């Protein structure tokens, strides 16, 4: 069965470039992004991991840990870091999981059940579905799932934007409109009456009977 939003993120123990981790313990009381790539020493993946390294301070500001994964062994990850630094200018300081037996990739539905049991001899095309993103909350529940095709590098600024929305809407009874960015107006959810909205937010604009906007809460 495929994973869905609000499912508990499957726990696992795996080898990484920073030692063995048990996933739920590693997350702790914060947030996490688990993101996968098809294969080391390939062009799109090289740009992605470097870009994520560049965004690492922004994720840390939001109490979000980041961890990468592919079916390559840990030793390969360590060797690849030099190329990533050369290509992007960023050091990969976050852990990378070496999932050489495909266990985590299958646990998270990144690869089909018939994908085999080892990374040996696999090409990027064999790992075509492994360009996934899972955002996981402190409750260990999945908050967001994204899967990209082989030829499309991810927009990590969008992942940060989505986390801003997820964290904000977890604290307040609001939602965020299309293309919303931090600091812009938000939508009051249907569960909040007009009377309660005045108490909570001070004022709001009614665009439609079911669409009410207000300033982003700051608390």
Catalytic residues: 45
The CB density around residue 48, as the number of other CB atoms within 10 Å, is 21
Number of Cβ within a 10 Å radius of residue 30: 14
Packed helices 43-61 and 156-171: angle between N→C axes, nearest 10 degrees: 30
Give the contacts of 123 (CB within 8 A, at least 6 positions apart): 39
Q: What is the CA radius of gyration of the chain?
A: 19
- Alpha carbons within 13 angstroms on the beta-carbon side of residue 178 total 1
As to burial, measured by CB atoms within 10 angstroms (0-12 exposed, 13-18 middle, 19+ buried), residue 104 is buried
């Amino acid at each position: 069965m495929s994973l869905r939003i609000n499912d508990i993120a499957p726990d696992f123990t795996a080898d990484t470039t920073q030692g063995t981790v048990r996933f739920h313990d590693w997350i702790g009381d914060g947030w996490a992004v688990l993101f996968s790539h098809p294969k080391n020493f390939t062009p799109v993946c090289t740009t992605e991991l470097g870009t994520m390294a560049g965004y690492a301070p922004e994720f840390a500001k939001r109490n979000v840990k980041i961890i990468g994964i592919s079916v390559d062994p840990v030793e390969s990850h360590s060797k690849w870091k030099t190329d990533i630094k050369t290509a992007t200018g960023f050091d990969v300081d976050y852990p990378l999981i070496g999932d050489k037996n495909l266990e985590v990739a299958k646990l998270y539905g990144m690869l089909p059940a018939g994908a085999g049991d080892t990374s040996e001899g696999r090409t990027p095309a064999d790992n075509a579905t492994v360009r996934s993103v899972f955002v996981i909350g402190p409750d260990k529940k999945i908050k967001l799932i994204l899967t990209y095709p082989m030829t499309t590098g991810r927009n990590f600024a969008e992942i940060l934007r989505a986390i801003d929305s997820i964290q904000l809407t977890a604290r307040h009874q609001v939602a965020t409109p299309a293309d919303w960015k931090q600091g812009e107006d938000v939508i009051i959810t249907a569960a909040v009456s007009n009377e309660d909205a005045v108490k909570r937010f001070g004022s709001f604009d009614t665009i439609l009977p079911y669409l009410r906007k207000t300033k982003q809460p700051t608390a």
